[in-house]
Chains A and B, each alone.
Chain A
Amino acid sequence: MTDLTSLTIAEAREGLASKSFTSLELTDAHLTAIEAARSLNAFILETPDQARAMARAVDAKIARGEGGPLAGIPLGIKDLFATRDVRTTACSKILGNFVPSYESTVTSQLWRDGAVMLGKLNNDEFAMGSSNETSCFGPVVNPWRREGSNTTLVPGGSSGGSASAVAALLCMGATATDTGGSIRQPAAFTATVGVKPTYGRCSRWGIVAFASSLDQAGPIARTNRDAAILMRSMAGHDPKDTTSVDRPVPDYEAAIGKSVKGMKIGIPKEYRLDGMPAEIEKLWTEGAAWLRAAGAELVEVSLPHTKYALPAYYIVAPAEASSNLARYDGVRYGLRVPGRSIGELYENTRADGFGHEVRRRVMIGTYVLSAGYYDAYYLRAQKVRTLIKKDFEDCFAKGVNAILTPATPSAAFGVGEKGGADPVEMYLNDIFTVTVNMAGLPGIAVPAGKDAQGLPLGLQLIGRPFDEETLFSLGEVIEQAAGRFTPPKWW
């Protein structure tokens, strides 16, 4: 029954309910697929024994008619989520062999609803990266290749393991996190659906912190419906995260297939960049046409501070990171490199434990927060952030329901191709996604087509705060028009 891995979550849910197969069979099919796909380096820790135990337990529940909304569905978990008794490293050497004695709220809600954990997924170290090349476990390989080429491509990042594993049919869905585009950019690079929920929609408790005012957890799945199913379990109020919002979690799946007739969709002119590839431009126009054909009204809108989002992000995010990562000191957990004094112990541990990208960001963050520079950098960036948010508010106040943009400025690129000489080259990947984090809004990336080399491209929809449902409805329209894309298996 090897084709079990190609089912969607919605299909598997039906098959499990009708007893066509068991969760153990479904789980085993995925464990076999994971084993055969080790060359992709998507899973950095496989937990087959735990997966089978969870599957058996949920099979018993299903037999008693007690299965939850995700009963028996095998998932992959980004290594940023703390998993009880299972090594959690954020793909950083500095966390070493850290084994949490607690479970993140988001994953605990997935297990509450019956999901099965297959293992931990690779990501950029502390989620800092756009290509999954900064992981201490090495880069993840994108299951997609250029037509007629063997060049190894990145899956995007930081949730590269999640995107690669979902695209390669190694798990039915995955958890991911998004600070500047880390769910949506890899989703676009792998033809998967990635949702960055409104800030506060999912609890951040138990997720390794990068930039706390920007971080949000969300799902990566193969269809809009599957992403909606996962979202319902992941979202919800958590007293342990004071920024989590206390409002009811809607049935996101009910938004799939809902009419988008009469909706006003904004096309922001500032996203039309000089030198944007013609294929991206074409895809964007095509996406707009699909939504128009479904009854939506397309309007040009202006988000005048768009170009300042990325530079403001590269002050705010490193500043918060430098503060959050101060906890890695070689004393309480993780790596410890000895020194003659405690100061030396800190410095040696952090020099050896942090990779280059993390070290660079911690240093820039330290600088922009240091005495004499705080006003010029950090305070100014937070003011610019207010203006970015206001751009969106003005747009929504005019009756715009959602905004359509490209998800990324290019398709997936080769390992080692970007950011070698100038880190900013890599940062530009997030130019279309980072505004959403700065404004705390929900965003979704949906597969919409392929470039001339056969690589997937995605479109992004940006919604009003806590209106993920509209994004699912619109995403479904694009999915129905564009179809689904699966990479040919070569691994």
Chain B
Amino acid sequence: MSVDAATVRRIAHLARIAVTEAEVPHLQGELNAMLAFVEQLSEVNVDGVEPMTSVTPMEMKKRADVVNDGEIPDDIVGNAPETQNHFFLVPKVVE
């Protein structure tokens, strides 16, 4: 399988990465090189094979459903580019 220019633009949008028109052909070439490389997996017989979900056999751990951390809003917003009163600021979302 390979991707065309329209698919490259669609993937970029899904990934939320702005891509200029000039970058599309180059990206298309690189993505297709990767897809050509992984194409060899189609020759493996995977009938009846379970997909891996955990590389080490282990039971899903669960912790008690209690608050065990928090009250650190200064730390949480400490690295944010724009904040106000412990809120993250973003461009207007709702008109």
Interface residues of A (CB under 8 A from B): 97-99, 101-102, 198-200, 213-214, 239, 242-243, 245, 305, 307-308, 310-312, 314-315, 322, 326, 329-336, 338-348, 350-351, 354, 359-360, 362-364, 366-367, 370, 373, 376-377, 379-387, 389, 422-424, 427, 438-440, 465
Contacts and interface: CB of A to CB of B under 8 A. Distances in A.
Given A305-B44, A376-B1, A386-B50, A330 B72 contact: no
23 contacts: A198-B56, A213-B54, A239-B63, A242-B60, A245-B56, A311-B38, A311-B40, A312-B38, A312-B41, A314-B38, A315-B38, A336-B82, A339-B91, A346-B16, A362-B15, A367-B31, A381-B41, A383-B52, A384-B44, A384-B46, A387-B44, A387-B49, A465-B56
B37 A311 contact: yes
Contact of B79 (A99, A312, A314): A99
A322 B41 CA distance: 21
Contacts of A97: 79
Nearest to A364: B34
Contacts of A310: 37
Contacts of B33: 422-424
Given A350-B15, A354-B17, A345 B38 contact: no
B51 A382 contact: yes
A383 B49 contact: yes
Contacts of A314: 34, 37-38
Nearest to B47: A383
A366 B11 contact: yes
A383 B46 contact: yes
Which of B1, B15, B40 is packed against the most chain A CB atoms within 10 Å? Answer: B15
A360 B3 contact: no
B25 interface: no
Contacts of B16: 326, 329, 343, 346-347, 350
Contacts, number: 160
B84 to A, nearest CB: 13
Nearest to B81: A336
Nearest to B78: A101
Contact of A331 (B49, B54, B75, B88): B88
B5 interface: no
A346 B91 CA distance: 11
A242 B19 contact: no
A27 B9 CA distance: 51
A386 B15 contact: no
Given A350-B16, A386-B51, A424 B34 contact: yes
Given A332-B88, A345-B91, 9 more contacts: A102-B75, A322-B15, A350-B17, A350-B18, A360-B27, A363-B15, A380-B46, A387-B49, A389-B52
A343 B53 CA distance: 32
B78 A99 contact: yes
A308 B19 contact: no
B91 A342 contact: yes
B4 interface: no
A254 to B, nearest CB: 24
Nearest to A350: B17
A199 B55 contact: yes
